[in-house]
Structure 1
Amino acid sequence: MHTDIVTNFGYLFEKELLEDISKIGITKNFKADSTIIELGDYIKSMPLLISGAIKILREDEKGEELVLYYLEKGDTCAMTLSCCMGQTKSKIRAVAETDVSLILLPKEKMAEWLTSYKTWQSFILQSYHNRVEELLQAVDTIAFFKMDERLFKYLKDKAMVTHNDVLQVTHKQISEDLHTSRVVISRLLKKLENEQKIQLFRNSIKILEL
């Protein structure tokens, strides 16, 4: 049986399901910043995240992106589940935040396992619940937070999913993720540094309050 599957999902799934996943799952690796799922793709496999972190984004008609949420090891993507079940095109872009390892499962098994394994049913329902909660948080952040609060939450979320309080990220990358200008981001980062919430370096940002 695949060791990574047992390590990440052994506490969730029964032995028979772990064995099924190990038999039919295909391991794929992605380098940081590579695109895993593109807008408009038909999804034929459901991913289980073994290691690393994935950024889920939406894109408007002008091609500008907005980060919706992050996935960590042990997660799957509700948007992917929805596309698999409905046989529709992807409405999100998934990008590797760090180096990523996935187990890909054929979509045909999703419905079959819902009736065969109660632990799988619980996992899928909990995954939907978690992603809906994160989407609501994203909406609240956009609707109710000031931009400096949005920025600081973004930085803290990024630090938590990468398990590193020093972020290798440019002002331009942040501005694209938060759908605003680089000038605004640079000004707000300086404000956060003055408030002693972060420390700015030439090519990195250290989060002082997590």
Structure 2
Amino acid sequence: MNEKIKEVLERTPFEPELKEEILKSGRLKKAKAGQTVITPDDEAQEMPLVMSGLLRVMRNDDNGNEVFLYYLEGGETCAMSITCCLEGKRSSFHVVAEEDSELWMMPVSNLDNWITKYSSFRRFVFNSYQTRFDELLHTIDSMVFMNLDERLYNYLLDKKIASGSFEIKKTHQQIANELNTSRVVISRLLKKLEKEDKIEQRRNYIEIL
């Protein structure tokens, strides 16, 4: 039995019986940095619980453009994947491992029963919805009310908080893709932030000051 998932579950308020069911019914899944975990149009068969690492949730439009939505850290799950699981829908988003990650995949068939049977799991699901909803509002606010340089700096700060590191290991093109703009614009704005002493651009990463 995987010891890491036991450690993760020990930090949750789940009932002992629920922890035991999660241990018995789930499976370990490892994802390398850059690997896609959930793709658009996937049929939801399992709900991921992040054990370690960091996942990035993105949404694509009909033209193939993508926009960053939020990060998933250890002990968290994706609210949109819960919805797809419970309603049997295909996903309209994709999830990528931002860094090497370990997930505990829980079968869809158990979710309805756990929500009904265990109040702690019910709260966990509702809290996941609320957290993701707040983060989506934050993303919308940044797109509507912030200039692109503010959005960029806010994006870098979000990444710092989610990863726990002041070093942002992203290329200009990767940032441009996630903010749905061009590499040239991102490069120009990063130079502006550097002149304002908010960041320093290193050879292979950006450092938040």
* Identity over aligned pairs, percent: 44
1:96 Cα deviation (Å)? Answer: 0.3
Amino acid of the residue matched to residue 128 of structure 2? S
Are 2:156 and 1:152 aligned? no
User: Where in structure 1 do 4 or more consecutive aligned residues deviate above 4 Å?
Assistant: none
Aligned to 1:90: 91
Aligned to 1:7: 7
Aligned to 2:139: 138
Q: Deviations over 1:22-80 (max 9, x none)?
A: 11110000000000000111110011110011000011122111000110000000110
SS of residue paired to 2:99: coil
SS of residue paired to 1:47: strand
Amino acid of the residue matched to residue 66 of structure 2? E
1:2 Cα deviation (Å)? Answer: 4.2
Amino acid of the residue matched to residue 8 of structure 1? V
Contact kept, 8 Å, 1:166 with 1:205, in 2: the verdict is: yes
Instruction: Output aligned runs, 1:1-210, within 5 Å.
Output: 2-10=2-10, 11-208=12-209
SS of residue paired to 1:97: strand
Contact kept, 8 Å, 1:59 with 1:65, in 2: the verdict is: yes
CA distance in 2, matches of 1:33, 1:106: 24
1:204 Cα deviation (Å)? Answer: 1.0
Amino acid of the residue matched to residue 86 of structure 1? E
1:4 Cα deviation (Å)? Answer: 2.1
CA distance in 1, matches of 2:101, 2:81: 17
CA distance in 2, matches of 1:19, 1:2: 12
CA distance in 1, matches of 2:100, 2:9: 20
Contact kept, 8 Å, 1:53 with 1:97, in 2: the verdict is: yes
Runs of 5+ unmatched residues, structure 2: none
CA distance in 1, matches of 2:4, 2:116: 25
Deviates most, 99-108 or 5-14: 5-14
Contact kept, 8 Å, 1:5 with 1:18, in 2: the verdict is: no
SS of residue paired to 1:53: strand
How many residues align structurally? 208
Amino acid of the residue matched to residue 76 of structure 2? D
1:185 Cα deviation (Å)? Answer: 0.4
CA distance in 2, matches of 1:8, 1:72: 12
Amino acid of the residue matched to residue 137 of structure 2? L
CA distance in 2, matches of 1:143, 1:12: 37
SS of residue paired to 2:139: helix
CA distance in 2, matches of 1:178, 1:30: 23
Contact kept, 8 Å, 1:54 with 1:94, in 2: the verdict is: yes
CA RMSD of aligned residues (A): 1.0
